[in-house]
Amino acid sequence: MHVLKPDELQVPAGKAEATKLGRAIVVTSGKGGVGKTTTTANLGTALAQRGATVALVDADVGLRNLDIVLGLESRVKYHLLDVLEGAATLDDALVADKHSPTLRLLAAAQAREKEDVETEKMRALVQTLRERFDYVLIDSPAGIELGFKNAVAGAQEAIVVCTPEVSAVRDVDRVVGLLGNAFQPQLVINRLRPQLVKKGKMLSVDDVNAILRLPLLGVIADEPEIIVATNRGEPLALRKEAPTGAAYRAIAARLAGDDVPAPMPPVTQTFFDRLGAIFGGKRA
Amino acid sequence: MIDFLKRLFGQTGSSSTAKERLRLVLMTDHLELAPEMVDAMKRDLVDVISRYVEVDREKIDVTFEQQDKTLAMLANIPILAVNRNGNVVPPASNGHLPSAAAPAPAAQSAPEPAAQTAPVAEPPPKRKRRRRKKSKPAIPAPALLVSGGVLSAAK
């Protein structure tokens, strides 16, 4: 198979030449709609912005979405199953990102089914990608069936995405049980609303992790700017001024081994908070 | 005043409710996912009780039930005989006790006299819940009812 040369990836020579295998990390959650794809796109972008070579694999066969979040939908010509079945080479199928020169996307097949993926072929593909990229991030489909098993097949590590909801925590607990100790799952808490936590209307980071007891990579707030970014197909990790973008970059830094604190959304004081402080004294 | 207004507008924290529900549901999940553990627990439980009274191993029924704020283990263990002298049978011995045991209190939760009768026709499973209640005349045989005890979540 033709191998991407270091200059094609625009990375310092030596990095891609190194025989060391890259890290294959599956992003999963059990429950759907908690932000796996957004997290994958942003962490991939943030890692690539740090200079690492990154391959993003959309393993959600039949429900392709990662290309949309990255704004690459018009560039996808071949997909994961084309590569697995030999209808296209890996290089033909890897889509270059618009913004990050060291980022590549392998899109999922939209008109196919998860059952069409052979687990062993998937494992071999991820192994090939590890030889060529520093990071291989695999966006897992929701559920714990074959699609999940295929997404996990080639990975050595796992990031679990959880929202502060009973159902999401329960599903993550199940997924972590299925993954076992081998994947050293790390936690990203997504869609936290600090104001609601403060009012006692939403599970807090501590509440969630008292149950899951996982190493915390970071916490992402539920911010309108994420929706805007997805509308545009531009991951927030690119935006220097966006607080959520900074949070994603901090998570990427932690993933890369930097000793930085886990990002935590601040509680902003609203007008009513201040009013409550005046009239009600200390708040519970 | 503020507290009153908060309550008026339904501002009492629902996150504690969420926490409680999550804790319970995960305990139930973990029990379901570890049937071997439950079986082992059942075995050990019966072994311990067998040291004191003779139980009908075939008709033992252990269930878990989510109650208001706890997960309860309900064990229905029919007693066949009670050693009149109150001698404790050493562990590992499953020897039958003298069959002419006199009526004796079986257990605090099963106040009926421990008459030496084999359980009458097995009640339909539907009645299980009712049988938990004390002094129900429907209890066919003396039974040990172990219940309560909050189980901590086991991963």
pLDDT tens for residues A185-210? 999 999 999 999 999 999 999 999 99
What is the chain B residue with the closest CA to A178? B33
Domain ranges, residue A81: 6-280
Residue A20's CATH number: 3.40.50.300
Q: Are A180 and A174 within 8 A, CB to CB? A: no
Contacts of A99 (CB under 8 A, 6+ apart): A45, A234, A235, A238
- Asked whether the predicted pLDDT for residue A226 surpasses 70, the reply is yes
Write a three-state SS string for chain A: CCCCCHHHHCCCCCCCCCCCCCEEEEEECCCCCCCHHHHHHHHHHHHHHCCCCEEEEECCCCCCCHHHHHCCHHHCCCCHHHHHCCCCCHHHHCEECCCCCCEEEECCCCCCCHHHCCHHHHHHHHHHHHHHCCEEEEECCCCCCHHHHHHHHCCCEEEEEECCCHHHHHHHHHHHHHHCHHHCCEEEEEEECHHHHHCCCCCCHHHHHHHHCCCEEEEEECCHHHHHHHHHCCCHHHCCCCHHHHHHHHHHHHHCCCCCCCCCCCCCCCHHHHHHHHHHCCCC
Q: Is residue A271 part of a domain?
A: yes
All residues of chain B having their beta carbon less than 8 Å from the beta carbon of residue A30 are none
pLDDT tens for residues B66-112? 777 788 888 888 999 887 676 666 655 444 444 333 343 333 343 34
> Between residues B94 and A59, which one has the greater pLDDT?
A59
DSSP state of B153: P
Contact B16 A199 (CB under 8 A): no
Q: Is residue A1 part of a domain?
A: no
Name the residue among B118, B138, B121, B120 with its Cα closest to residue B129.
B138
What is the chain A residue with the closest CA to B153? A211
SS3 B77: strand
Q: Are A123 and A59 within 8 A, CB to CB? A: no
Task: State pTM to two decimals.
Answer: 0.74
The pLDDT value given to residue B3: 55
Contact A197 B19 (CB under 8 A): no
Looking at the structure of chain A, the number of domains it has is 1
Query: What was the ipTM of the complex prediction?
Result: 0.77
The pLDDT value given to residue B104: 39
All residues of chain A having their beta carbon less than 8 Å from the beta carbon of residue B3 are 280
State mean pLDDT over B5-30.
79
Distance from C-alpha of A38 to C-alpha of A274, rounded to nearest angstrom: 34
pLDDT tens for residues A246-267? 999 999 999 999 999 999 999 8
- Which among A207, A276, A279 has the least Cβ separation from residue B15? A207
